[in-house]
A and B are shown apart, each in its own frame.
Chain A
């Protein structure tokens, strides 16, 4: 295993009685993309903010690029880029003015500032909006601008809090292409998302629920090693079948997808339990677990635990 760029151990943070992050430990290898998924309020943003040095952990330690946080946060300002969940540049400044401002804040010499600004404006298709006010840009363009702003100073670690939650699928694909290019260049990326297709593209994935890191690993491995069986059940009277299935204690979850039910059961459940339904003209087939199944199992366990 190569060096870890970001690591946390026993990270804990409460706001009064509310425990936002509970004993989170993780390691992110340099040059990889680590994804955070989890329901709203699961502690993704709080964890991210602690790893940026924005919040002080109530307990536990975090280290980024060999510097411990939040004590040495100032040493990391020039080496870490952070893209906030909500757009945080100035809406009443133009694209170019925003990028110039950020460049000046990072004390870049004028030439370098202009080069990098023009480079990213070209690369992220912002050139034609150069003189547009940021507040007038579309959601997607605004995210490109925010990304450009946190890439100007060439960070070694890039932390993105739900960067694609407000953008269309085409833009999301383009966005991820850029992320992979950055990772290839050795940039370590921590990104949180609600989208399973995005989660699946990460090198490693952590699922947060109620502040706890309930599952962590490579997406492929998480899907293969999921200790459940997955069935696709189709046929008439899905509503009745669903009610019937939910009576069975081995059934973990039933969700309708189009004209079929996706049924998760305990691993090793006798397929006949499901197959008996076939008598009533239903069709049952075994399918591979996907990442959403991993997510459902991981977050459901937490609720019952």
Chain B
């Protein structure tokens, strides 16, 4: 047992040494999270920046002008044009002159008095989801100090889905970990085979499981560093609140890192070269992004897609991490998702151990 630990330690140290010398991989450890966060993050931040807007004011009263001016001051939109009909407004959106159309109906005063339905309508070019998200912020606008009734109703012209900005950063941890953890482990093992190191290692007393554990442990540390990086950047750059406990966040990340690393090991036993390992990683990454609920709501997906999504660790991670970070739920509320991640890791580890034989057959 002590010998096993010593051998695992030796492999870990070797792996870290190689990692420190491999500038590309080392750069990816920090580069991928930073780059992705900035890319996704600034899309989120556009939320409250000047969208060009056009107005159709059928009411033409002092109240209607006041409301339009208020909306303009909100900085969410920047009103650049007035139109005489809704049809003109839709054409302007269709030809990309404006992103948002504001429609003030002729019976504005009557509608404002009727609290059961909003008075003003927004027409959105939500073929670009960022615009949809951003303009939705306007629906928070209300008239009068004690008037909580919605004044504005937004309506997507092309894509009625809504997304919340804060949902993206926690989910982004999952995207980044899937990409880097699966890829790093798969490539790290396949590279040893490609370069012939494995042929040498097989003839030494090192056991397959020691080799796997020794190679994987350094990447657990790297995964936690990446998690921290994304959380810190998310809080610093985008004021993302972490409403749940930080410990729960890390436990969840750890379970997900485990699932990704073991998946990487399985890929490494199937891939013949680094390129194949990369292809297989992309094969996992794409459904992880598209089906997990990270990009599109899970509930809106067809049954088959949902079944596939349930098999992906990312789906469980996204549910769990959003609960903790966004809603402030305790880990116990999503404990079955955590079990799903652990079960996934156990199955993958078993498959990897069975497939990884100490021979070249």
Contacts and interface: CB of A to CB of B under 8 A. Distances in A.
Nearest to A146: B200
Given A90-B197, A91-B195, A107 B18 contact: no
Nearest to A149: B200
Interface stretch (B30-38, B202-210, B220-228, B262-270): B202-210
Contacts of B303: none
A173 to B, nearest CB: 26
Contacts of A106: 204-205
A88 B205 contact: no
A82 B359 contact: no
Interface stretch (A50-58, A123-131, A254-262, A278-286): A50-58
B6 A92 contact: no
B359 A86 contact: no
A86 B194 CA distance: 11
Interface string B274-308: 00000000000000000000000000000000000
B357 to A, nearest CB: 10
Contacts of B9: 104
A93 interface: yes
B203 A54 contact: yes
A104 B195 contact: no
A109 to B, nearest CB: 10
Contact of B14 (A49, A56, A82, A93): A93
B147 interface: no
Given A86-B196, A107-B3, A107-B7, A53 B14 contact: no
A89 B200 contact: yes
Tell me if B's interface is mostly helix, strand, loop or mixed. Answer: helix
Contact of B196 (A49, A56, A78, A87): A87
Contacts of B17: 92-93, 97
Which residue, of B11, B201, B203, has the highest number of chain A Cβ atoms within 10 A?
Answer: B203
Interface in A64-123: 70, 73-74, 77-78, 80, 82, 84, 86-93, 97, 101-102, 104-107
A49 B360 contact: yes
A77 B10 contact: no
Nearest to A15: B361
Tell me if A's interface is mostly helix, strand, loop or mixed. Answer: loop
Interface string B180-193: 00000000000000
A56 B359 contact: yes
Given A54-B359, A92-B22, A104 B7 contact: yes
B8 to A, nearest CB: 10
8 contacts: A54-B203, A55-B359, A84-B196, A87-B196, A92-B22, A97-B14, A102-B204, A106-B205
Given A82-B203, A102-B204, A105-B10, 14 more contacts: A54-B360, A56-B359, A70-B359, A84-B196, A87-B196, A88-B196, A88-B200, A101-B10, A104-B6, A104-B9, A105-B7, A105-B204, A105-B205, A107-B205
Interface of B: 3, 6-7, 9-11, 13-14, 17-18, 21-22, 195-197, 199-206, 358-361
Interface of A: 49, 52-56, 70, 73-74, 77-78, 80, 82, 84, 86-93, 97, 101-102, 104-107, 149
